[in-house]
Structure 1
Amino acid sequence: MDKVHDYGFDGIIVYIGKGDGSSKIYTAGYKDRDSKEAADPNSLFKIASVTKLYTALAITKLAYDNELSLEATLGDYFPELIGRIENAKDITIRMMVQHRSGIPNYTSVNNYWAHPKETDQERLSLVLDLPADFNPDSDYEYSNTNYLLLSMLIEKITKEKKFEYIQRTILTPLRLTHTYGSIHDVRLDDVMSGYYEGYQEDLKTDDTGLMLATAEDLGKFIRALNDGTAFRDQQELALYTSLYKFEHTGLIPGYQTIAKYHPDLDIVMIQFTNTVNFDGYNWSLHEIMYHKILNILKRQEKSN
């Protein structure tokens, strides 16, 4: 952890949650580069694409309650997108959850992160009328557009904001009180600053439309997802298992996350680092740091 600056990161937070309910949070480096404020274990962090786990679980709960059909199509729920998104009549909700829709990824269009959009409609407009990447269910390709559309679907069905539904059906039952839907829902002073390599600007005010959480809250969620307590019964768990995964990573300007459960150690490990680039090198260092810490934990387990 003390080598955080050698790896090029301004700050790091690592949460380790054990099966007996105990946990530890380790920090190094800075919460804020300019003030040199030390990394805070209780800081909120933009969890980026880890948000997809919450969205997939919300879709599972709606399907379990027969509020939506996983085999219904995008065109069934959004007829206005027929002719604007190729194959909308054939792309099922299940395919979108599993990234098998062929819908282009809006964050891959027009150097998106140089000028990110602020609303869902603006983000969606970037892929309208583009050709599909492949025929529905014929291949896999990660696409943020799938989860943008799923978020819109949750709001259309529930008649409430997506995060309100997630809070009511997931966070409140699990007593997760330090998870938020937007940068606009929190005190900025509570958020860890984020940076893009080579630039001085603090990116924490950018609204990416994705969730924020403390490392502890995210760790508790990953534990609940993997031990089954996030589900009402075995049938709901089985439905989710047929749809999506139980761990995730996330990367947006200023913020990168790894959130995983390791059954061999019965631990959940969350790692936040707040300095990124998009050329892959910085992410590789993020993963190297993660696995070095994990290997220390494995050696400790063997020595016990």
Structure 2
Amino acid sequence: MKPTRIRLGRACAAAAAAGVLVIPAVTGSAYGATPPPAPSATAAPSPGTDGNFPQLTPAVAARLDAAVRQVMRVTGTPGAVVGLWAPGKGSYVKAFGVADKATGAPMKADVHTRLGSETKTFTVTALLRLVDQGKVRLDDPIGRYVPGVPNGDHITLRELAGMRSGLFNYTLDPDFVKTFEGNPEQRFVPRQLLDFSFKHPAQFPPDAKFQYSNTNLVLLGLVIEKVTGRPVQDVITKDVIEPAGLRHTLFPTGPEFPEPHAHGYSDETPSGEIEDATNWNPSWAWAAGAMISDMQDLRTWARVLATGTLLTPATQAERLKTTPMDIPGAGYGLGIFNVQGWIGHNGSLPGYESLTVYLPQARATMVIILNTDVETDGQEPSTLFGDAVTSIVTPAHVYPGHKPLVPKPG
């Protein structure tokens, strides 16, 4: 059995992965994109070199096509959907590869996808709306709402949402991994997930440092349920999804998966071999990672999330206060990150990855959907796609990642 972590959208471009992230200084050709022309008295500037979002011309689209296809070869990604939008600059929406390796059915831009840790952005938004309603305070201790939490009288809701609680991440617990791998289609309940975490002592005092833990979001889901008296999926649907105008986003209670959707492929298996994880039950991720959406809804959500449409300005300002991470130019706020100016979140769980971010300077949105979570040299595929795309369109704001140069065989 290979060492298994059960990935769930490690924050900020695979921040939990070992190694130093290499940030390109210029738009490059490492992913097969055509390099920019050498400077001359008459040469036009390369797209985005002034920090602005470029016109999405056919020439830029061709460079993006080449870059995406090269990352697919490097990572062995079966299918990908990439979307870019910026007012006055045009759009780029394209599907690549296959949605089903068995049949060869092509990937399409309208597929539903499992969101993994992008769910955190919805859960924390639901919590912050309760803050705006005066029903909870960010500096309330979690022990006021959920009994039995290690350091529960000292850990605040703010520290949970900001990944500074010190609580052990249940998805790293060996017994959880063994239980999950024994039957990935089984149903988990929140208290069961917390039990995997709470048998471990707190890792550090509250607010001492940033450390990503899915346990934090399970606890916030329970807070939402206690305060509202409603299931968290109902609160998120009625108080977040519907006000945001999202039509294809849901919080499933089991393995249900609306059509159309791609098959998802994962190596989070006892053997380490890649398997079809499409129908694995995401209940183990619950308020930390169980949700489903599609590209158009994620496009809308990126702007709503980054601009604070559903929150008061004061609460949004609190949300966007970030703690530095071990990545240059990256910080984590309250269920949201800022990476080189791109605000949003990534998501990863067996079979699927996504990246949904917004660049306020250009009012630009980027959404990436993949039907694999298999890493390449310790890097999540969504990170590598994000790096390749932003290296072309916003080299002053590159979403960081390693750049492997040798494609996988086959």
Same-fold status (TM-score > 0.5): yes
CA distance in 1 between counterparts of 2:361 and 2:131 reads 32
Change (3 A) 1:24 1:172: farther
Structure 1 position 38, deviation (Å): 0.6
Which amino acid is the alignment partner of residue 206 of structure 1? W
Change (3 A) 1:159 1:19: farther
Picking from 57, 69, 77, the partner of 1:2 is: 69
Change (3 A) 1:62 1:5: same
- Contact 2:255–2:280 (8 Å) recurs in 1: no
Structure 1 position 17, deviation (Å): 2.5
Structure 1 position 147, deviation (Å): 0.3
1:235 paired to 2:305: no
1:211 paired to 2:285: no
Structure 1 position 31, deviation (Å): 1.1
Within-5 A mapping of 1:94-133:
94-110=158-174, 112-113=176-177, 115-116=179-180, 118-133=188-203
Which amino acid is the alignment partner of residue 151 of structure 1? G
Whose helix proportion is higher, 1 or 2? 1
CA distance in 2 between counterparts of 1:180 and 1:282 reads 30
Match of 1:89 in 2: 153
CA distance in 2 between counterparts of 1:256 and 1:30 reads 15
Within-5 A mapping of 1:1-304:
1-3=68-70, 4-19=72-87, 23-78=91-146, 80-81=147-148, 85-110=149-174, 112-113=176-177, 115-116=179-180, 118-182=188-252, 184=254, 186-197=256-267, 199-208=273-282, 209=286, 210-231=290-311, 233-242=312-321, 244=334, 245=336, 246-277=343-374, 281=377, 283-298=379-394
- Contact 2:112–2:258 (8 Å) recurs in 1: no
CA distance in 1 between counterparts of 2:193 and 2:89 reads 40
**Normalized against structure 2, the TM-score is what?**
0.66
Change (3 A) 1:68 1:286: closer
Structure 1 position 261, deviation (Å): 1.3
Task: Spell out, residue by residue over 1:265-295, the C-alpha distance to the aligned partner (whole angstroms, 9 max, x if none).
Answer: 43111112222235x5263554233222223
Task: Spell out, residue by residue over 1:224-271, the C-alpha distance to the aligned partner (whole angstroms, 9 max, x if none).
Answer: 12233233x423423433452341112211112222112344311111
Structure 1 position 200, deviation (Å): 4.9
Structure 1 position 220, deviation (Å): 0.9
CA distance in 2 between counterparts of 1:227 and 1:22 reads 21
CA distance in 2 between counterparts of 1:200 and 1:111 reads 22
Match of 1:302 in 2: none
- Contact 2:353–2:381 (8 Å) recurs in 1: no
Which SS does the other structure have where 1:247 is aligned? strand
Task: Spell out, residue by residue over 1:74-122, the C-alpha distance to the aligned partner (whole angstroms, 9 max, x if none).
Answer: 21112x31xxx32111111111111111110000100644532622122
- Contact 2:164–2:206 (8 Å) recurs in 1: yes
Which amino acid is the alignment partner of residue 384 of structure 2? I
CA distance in 1 between counterparts of 2:165 and 2:381 reads 31
Match of 2:58 in 1: none
CA distance in 2 between counterparts of 1:255 and 1:285 reads 10
Change (3 A) 1:125 1:219: same
Change (3 A) 1:106 1:239: same
- Contact 1:5–1:29 (8 Å) recurs in 2: no
Percent identity among equivalent residues?
A: 24
Q: Whose radius of gyration is greater, 1 or 2?
A: 2
- Contact 1:46–1:211 (8 Å) recurs in 2: yes
Count residues in correspondence.
293
CA distance in 2 between counterparts of 1:189 and 1:237 reads 34
Which SS does the other structure have where 1:153 is aligned? helix
Alignment RMSD: 2.4
Of structures 1 and 2, the one scoring higher in RCO (CA 8 A, sep 6+) is: 2
Which amino acid is the alignment partner of residue 249 of structure 1? N
Structure 1 position 191, deviation (Å): 2.4
Task: Spell out, residue by residue over 1:108-163, the C-alpha distance to the aligned partner (whole angstroms, 9 max, x if none).
Answer: 10064453262212211102232110011222211000001101111111111212
Structure 1 position 213, deviation (Å): 0.6
